[in-house]
């Protein structure tokens, strides 16, 4: 057996290969908490679901209307590489010539694989920029609402993500850690672009040992590790803003609000106060009012508010909270509540987001922006909010509000996707199916026959990172890894770079795309540009050859000792925030001027769309669709490791035992989960430590509609979720606002 170093977005592994097969996957010594997800590589890479050769959908080739209605339900012809590349390149050219480049949608959102050179989306964007550009997508499914609202009120999102209060500071100073949405350890296995040392769980355990008290505010008790001995408060999903307002009321009426800080460091508190007390709208946001909405006792709300004011308190919210209807509001309200406590900028006090959403959040490493593949710029300069893709496809010419401006949807004729799976990530997949059948052509690069490949017209088989050489290095990880090729390209697969080089060849710009560099020359070029960046920042990177032979490099230590808000706290005039006022905007004149009903000028409780009593009597259960424990999204769902976590061959729906008994359902049963948008099968598991009105069905099962279209077979929650923007401000996805009913399917 020979071992090869491979980096994934859930850790770094030494992959053992014998007789051309992966036979063993082992974490590396540098990782204190190796993630089991690595085991997906065992049979996942060489799985029978690999796409072997380029393929073109039959009706697309044969029918004058391209057989668009059969997209997703058709068969494919195998086509030789040269022919397939020529057909795809000519179709790209035709669409650009006849309809303009904005008729090509190349947003291609998705996580793809670790590795800086072979990053599929970067390769696509470099290619498409050279042919005149396309319509792109802005923001992410992860944090769209946060990315748009936070710059108005506190700081740009990249700064928050990478610079916010460290867990080290929490360990040393925090007495009370209040986590809305919990700190689910399953999620900290993963980090975009790669992760070497998993330490979130260890850091949180150290904080507990040092005396920090944890409060889990989530419908699910398991959202915090029980070893942290958390207190559990279980709000109805989507009601965190009401709960926070109830606490704000206690702080204000009991004289516990930090009035000096609110005056010196914030703008707009008087407006917040009027709203909290009900002077402006006649509704006092009292603990009783909050309790009637969020389902937590008023006395618990009061007690927690008072305790937060007494202790060194750190507030945090999971990213999931902003992935719901009006998802901007919980984040704004969390900032507001932290401002009222007046501890922002103190060691271990204040607030931050997503501690344990990904492995890097709260780490105290040096941040370094490694050089990437040069992508050029998109000549069209045009983007839509990422989660509005189905709206765009269905409504060409229509207008959508976004962050104070209006965006007009183009008429999309061609979609190109490489490194993402919209049939995983998008909401209301039955609606997406209708939208997806509108364009003339869909081209996809994929290693496997995943849903996005099945829903394409032209499919190019891509290699996986085990079949190529690359560098893993990300701005939030202290290591760079040399990723070794462990296997030859499987079947007829080519790397995304080779695929786009082939297309660029047909279109006459091969040299501009490849710069006549080999894979190794690209890696060396990227490394040398990183060496220059490092020298500018006063440290030294080894030569490429040294890095190649060592296999690994660790950045110098450079811990941040002062909190990111400490200077602002010390002197708000000299160290202003990057907001319009330079202060923390509890009321934003900018947002108020946009005039959006669904995102007013200060953090507000706005009833979620799917919420009315009538909705709840038909579909009484709140569906949460969290991230899966045994894989990254839909990646490697075909592997044994992921499949071993299923019940009855389906993704697992977890329900409270009493809710199950009411429906005469037993653990292990095959169930049908449904609402007015769709239905799917799932295997039932029971958990007494969650709300009775809440069920969870993790994301990631490969979308498999029944032949007649009705019932999704594998347990993909996105046939149930609603495809609605969080608000006119951010237009983020709102998957967590969703009501369903469950019944037996056997």
Ligand X SMILES: Nc1nc2c(c(=O)[nH]1)N[C@H]1C(S)=C(S)[C@@H](COP(=O)(O)OP(=O)(O)OC[C@H]3O[C@@H](n4cnc5c(=O)[nH]c(N)nc54)[C@H](O)[C@@H]3O)O[C@H]1N2
Kindly state the number of chain residues that form the binding site for Mo ion, as judged by CB under 5 A: 1
User: Percentages helix, strand, coil for the chain, rounded to the nearest 5?
Assistant: 35, 20, 45
- Which option in ligand X, Mo ion, none does residue 468 bind, with CB closer than 5 to 8 A by kind? none
Residue closer to ligand X by CB (options 84, 357) is 357
- Which option in ligand X, Mo ion, none does residue 628 bind, with CB closer than 5 to 8 A by kind? ligand X
Alpha helix (H) ranges present in 560-676? 566-570, 589-594, 613-618, 640-643, 657-662
Q: Which residue is nearest to Mo ion (CB)?
A: 142
Q: What whole-number distance in Å separates Cα of residue 296 and Cα of residue 234?
A: 7
Q: Structure tokens of 155?
A: 């700081």
Q: What is the DSSP letter of 604?
A: -
Residue with tokens 């990315």: 147
Q: How far is the CB of 38 from ligand X (least distance, A)?
A: 12
Q: How far is the CB of 319 from Mo ion (least distance, A)?
A: 7
Q: Confirm if 175 and 311 have CB atoms less than 8 A apart.
A: yes
Q: How far is the CB of 321 from ligand X (least distance, A)?
A: 5
Residues 6+ apart with CB under 8 A from 57: 67, 70, 71, 74, 75, 76, 77, 456, 457, 458
- Which option in Mo ion, ligand X, none does residue 243 bind, with CB closer than 5 to 8 A by kind? none
Best CA proximity match to 433, nearest among 708, 634, 638: 708
> Quick one: residue 131, left, alpha or beta (phi over 0 = left, psi -120 to 50 = alpha)?
alpha
Angle at 49 between CA 46 and CA 54, to 5 degrees: 100
Residue closer to ligand X by CB (options 101, 421) is 421
Site stretch for Mo ion (CB under 5 A), options 83-91, 142-150, 519-527, 583-591: 142-150
Catalytic residue among 10, 13, 60, 109: 109
- Which option in ligand X, Mo ion, none does residue 193 bind, with CB closer than 5 to 8 A by kind? none
- Which option in ligand X, Mo ion, none does residue 181 bind, with CB closer than 5 to 8 A by kind? ligand X
- Which option in Mo ion, ligand X, none does residue 448 bind, with CB closer than 5 to 8 A by kind? ligand X
Q: How far is the CB of 644 from ligand X (least distance, A)?
A: 15
- Which option in ligand X, Mo ion, none does residue 45 bind, with CB closer than 5 to 8 A by kind? none
Q: How far is the CB of 205 from ligand X (least distance, A)?
A: 19
Three-state DSSP at 82 gives helix
Q: Give the DSSP letter string of 397-464.
A: T-EEEETTEEEEPP---EEEEES--HHHHSS-HHHHHHHHTSSSEEEEEESB--HHHHT-SEEEEBPP
Residue closer to Mo ion by CB (options 8, 142) is 142
CA 451 to chain centre: 19
- Which option in Mo ion, ligand X, none does residue 478 bind, with CB closer than 5 to 8 A by kind? none
Q: Is 469 in the site for Mo ion (CB under 5 A)?
A: no
Best CA proximity match to 188, nearest among 180, 177, 179, 197: 197
- Which option in Mo ion, ligand X, none does residue 627 bind, with CB closer than 5 to 8 A by kind? ligand X
Residue closer to ligand X by CB (options 247, 257) is 247
Residue closer to ligand X by CB (options 359, 565) is 359
- Which option in Mo ion, ligand X, none does residue 362 bind, with CB closer than 5 to 8 A by kind? none
Q: Give the DSSP letter string of 488-512.
A: PPPTT-B-HHHHHHHHHHHHT-HHH
Q: Is 699 in the site for Mo ion (CB under 5 A)?
A: no
Whole-Å CA distances, 254 to 249, 250, 259, 286, 723: 8, 6, 12, 12, 41
Q: What whole-number distance in Å separates Cα of residue 319 and Cα of residue 234?
A: 17
- Which option in ligand X, Mo ion, none does residue 722 bind, with CB closer than 5 to 8 A by kind? none
Q: What whole-number distance in Å separates Cα of residue 662 and Cα of residue 655?
A: 11
Q: What whole-number distance in Å separates Cα of residue 630 and Cα of residue 648?
A: 16
Q: How far is the CB of 419 from ligand X (least distance, A)?
A: 4
Catalytic residue among 10, 111, 332, 409: 111
Instruction: Please state the φ and ψ torsions of residue 276, each to the nearest 5 degrees.
Output: -65, -45
Site stretch for Mo ion (CB under 5 A), options 136-144, 407-415, 417-425, 549-557: 136-144
Interface contacts to ligand X, rule CB under 6 A: 110-113, 118, 120, 141-142, 180-182, 184, 186-187, 189-190, 217-220, 223, 235, 237-238, 240, 318-321, 323-324, 357-358, 418-421, 424-425, 445-448, 450, 452, 462, 464, 496, 624-629, 632-635, 699, 717-718, 721, 735-736
Whole-Å CA distances, 676 to 422, 428, 519: 21, 11, 50
Site stretch for Mo ion (CB under 5 A), options 140-148, 193-201, 606-614, 667-675: 140-148
Three-state DSSP at 479 gives strand
List, edge to edge, every strand of the sheet that includes 470-473: 470-473, 479-483, 552-554
Site stretch for Mo ion (CB under 5 A), options 48-56, 135-143, 158-166, 237-245: 135-143
Residue closer to Mo ion by CB (options 358, 610) is 358
Q: How far is the CB of 323 from Mo ion (least distance, A)?
A: 9
Q: How far is the CB of 549 from ligand X (least distance, A)?
A: 25
Residue closer to ligand X by CB (options 312, 425) is 425
- Which option in ligand X, Mo ion, none does residue 101 bind, with CB closer than 5 to 8 A by kind? none
Q: How far is the CB of 317 from ligand X (least distance, A)?
A: 8
Q: How far is the CB of 111 from Mo ion (least distance, A)?
A: 7
- Specify burial of residue 514 (Cβ count, 10 A radius: 0-12, 13-18, 19+): middle
Q: Confirm if 481 and 194 have CB atoms less than 8 A apart.
A: yes
Q: How far is the CB of 146 from ligand X (least distance, A)?
A: 10
Residue closer to ligand X by CB (options 120, 414) is 120
Q: How far apart are the first and last CA of the chain?
A: 46
Whether 365 sits among the annotated catalytic residues: the reply is: no
Name residues contacting Mo ion, limited to 219-278 (CB under 5 A). none
Whether 416 sits among the annotated catalytic residues: the reply is: no
Best CA proximity match to 369, nearest among 202, 494, 532: 532
Residue closer to ligand X by CB (options 577, 738) is 738
Q: Confirm if 580 and 590 have CB atoms less than 8 A apart.
A: yes
- Which option in Mo ion, ligand X, none does residue 732 bind, with CB closer than 5 to 8 A by kind? none
Residue closer to Mo ion by CB (options 129, 142) is 142
Three-state SS annotation for 525-546: HHHHHHHHHHHHCCCCCCCHHH
Per CB under 5 A, the list member of 113, 142, 239, 734 interacting with Mo ion is 142
Q: Give the DSSP letter string of 370-395.
A: ---------TT-EEEEGGGHHHHHH-
- Specify burial of residue 651 (Cβ count, 10 A radius: 0-12, 13-18, 19+): buried
Residue closer to ligand X by CB (options 257, 318) is 318
Residue closer to ligand X by CB (options 234, 267) is 234
Q: Confirm if 354 and 319 have CB atoms less than 8 A apart.
A: yes
Q: How far is the CB of 78 from ligand X (least distance, A)?
A: 18
Name residues contacting Mo ion, limited to 594-623 (CB under 5 A). none
Residue closer to ligand X by CB (options 79, 577) is 79
Q: How far is the CB of 414 from ligand X (least distance, A)?
A: 17
Site stretch for Mo ion (CB under 5 A), options 137-145, 507-515, 548-556, 706-714: 137-145
Q: Is 627 in the site for Mo ion (CB under 5 A)?
A: no
Binding site for Mo ion (CB under 5 A): 142
Q: Which residues are catalytic?
A: 109, 111
């Amino acid at each position: 057996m020979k071992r090869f170093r491979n980096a994934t977005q859930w850790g770094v592994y030494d992959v053992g290969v014998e007789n051309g097969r992966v036979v063993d996957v082992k974490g590396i010594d540098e990782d204190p908490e190796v993630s089991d997800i690595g085991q997906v590589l065992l049979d996942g890479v060489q799985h029978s679901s690999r796409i072997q050769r380029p393929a073109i959908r039959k009706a697309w080739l044969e029918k004058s209307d391209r057989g668009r209605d059969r997209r997703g339900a058709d068969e494919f012809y195998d086509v030789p590489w040269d022919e397939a590349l020529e057909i795809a390149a000519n179709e790209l050219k035709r669409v650009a010539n006849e309809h303009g480049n904005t008729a090509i949608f190349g947003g291609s959102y998705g996580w793809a694989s670790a590795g800086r050179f072979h990053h599929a989306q970067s390769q696509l964007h470099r290619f498409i920029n050279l042919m005149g550009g396309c319509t792109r997508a802005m923001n992410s499914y992860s944090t769209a609402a946060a990315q748009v609202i936070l710059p108005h009120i506190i700081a740009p999102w990249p700064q928050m993500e990478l610079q916010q209060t460290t867990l080290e500071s929490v360990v040393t100073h925090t007495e009370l850690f209040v986590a809305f949405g919990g700190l689910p350890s399953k999620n900290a296995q993963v980090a975009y672009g790669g992760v070497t040392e998993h330490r979130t769980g260890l850091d949180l355990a150290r904080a507990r040992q040092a005396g920090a008290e944890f409060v889990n505010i989530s419908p699910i008790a398991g959202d915090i590790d029980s070893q942290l001995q958390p207190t559990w408060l279980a709000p109805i999903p989507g009601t965190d803003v009401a709960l926070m307002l109830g606490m704000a009321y206690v702080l204000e009426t009991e004289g516990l609000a930090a009035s000096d800080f609110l005056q010196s460091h914030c703008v707009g508190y008087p407006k917040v106060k009027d709203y909290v007390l009900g002077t402006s709208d006649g509704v006092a946001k009292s603990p009783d009012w909050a309790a009637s909405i969020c389902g937590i006792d008023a006395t618990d709300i009061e007690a927690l508010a008072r305790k937060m004011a007494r202790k060194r308190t750190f507030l945090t919210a999971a990213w999931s909270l902003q992935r719901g209807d009006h998802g901007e509001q919980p984040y704004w309200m969390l900032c507001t509540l932290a401002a009222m406590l007046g501890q922002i900028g103190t060691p271990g006090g204040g607030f931050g987001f997503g501690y344990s959403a990904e492995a890097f959040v709260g780490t105290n490493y040096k941040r370094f922006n490694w050089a990437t593949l040069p992508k050029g710029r998109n000549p069209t300069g045009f983007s839509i909010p990422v989660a509005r893709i189905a709206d765009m496809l269905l409504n060409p010419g229509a207008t959508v509000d976004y962050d104070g401006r209006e965006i007009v949807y183009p008429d999309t004729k061609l979609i190109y996707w490489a490194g993402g799976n919209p049939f995983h990530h998008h909401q209301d997949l039955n609606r997406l199916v209708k939208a997806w059948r509108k364009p003339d052509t869909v081209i996809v690069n994929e290693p496997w026959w995943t849903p996005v490949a099945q829903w394409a017209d032209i499919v190019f088989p891509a290699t996986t990172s085990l079949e190529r050489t690359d560098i893993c290095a990300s701005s939030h990880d202290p290591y760079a890894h040399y990723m070794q090729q462990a296997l030859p390209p499987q079947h007829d697969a080519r790397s995304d770079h080779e695929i786009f080089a082939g297309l660029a060849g047909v279109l006459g710009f091969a040299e501009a795309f490849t710069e006549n560099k080999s894979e190794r020359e690209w890696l060396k070029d990227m490394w040398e540009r990183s060496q220059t960046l490092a020298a500018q920042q006063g440290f030294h990177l080894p030569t490429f050859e040294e890095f190649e032979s060592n296999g690994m490099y660790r950045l110098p230590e450079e811990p941040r000792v002062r909190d990111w808000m400490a200077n602002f706290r010390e002197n708000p005039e000299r160290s202003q925030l990057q907001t319009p006022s330079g202060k923390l905007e509890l009321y934003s004149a900018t947002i108020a001027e946009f005039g959006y009903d669904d995102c007013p000028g200060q953090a507000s409780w706005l009833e979620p769309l799917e919420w009315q009593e009538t909705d709840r009597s038909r579909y009484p259960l709140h569906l949460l669709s969290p991230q899966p424990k045994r894989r990254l999204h839909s990646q490697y769902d075909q592997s044994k490791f992921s499949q071993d976590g299923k019940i009855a061959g389906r993704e697992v729906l977890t329900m409270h035992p009493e809710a199950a008994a009411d429906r005469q359902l037993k653990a292990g049963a095959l169930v049908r989960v449904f609402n007015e948008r769709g239905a799917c099968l799932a295997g039932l598991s029971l958990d007494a430590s969650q709300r009775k009105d809440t069920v969870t069905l993790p994301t990631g099962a490969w979308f498999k509609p029944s032949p007649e279209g009705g019932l999704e077979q594998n347990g993909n929650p996105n046939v149930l979720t609603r495809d609605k923007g969080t608000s006119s401000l951010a237009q983020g996805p709102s998957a967590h606002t969703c009501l369903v009913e469950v019944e037996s399917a056997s």
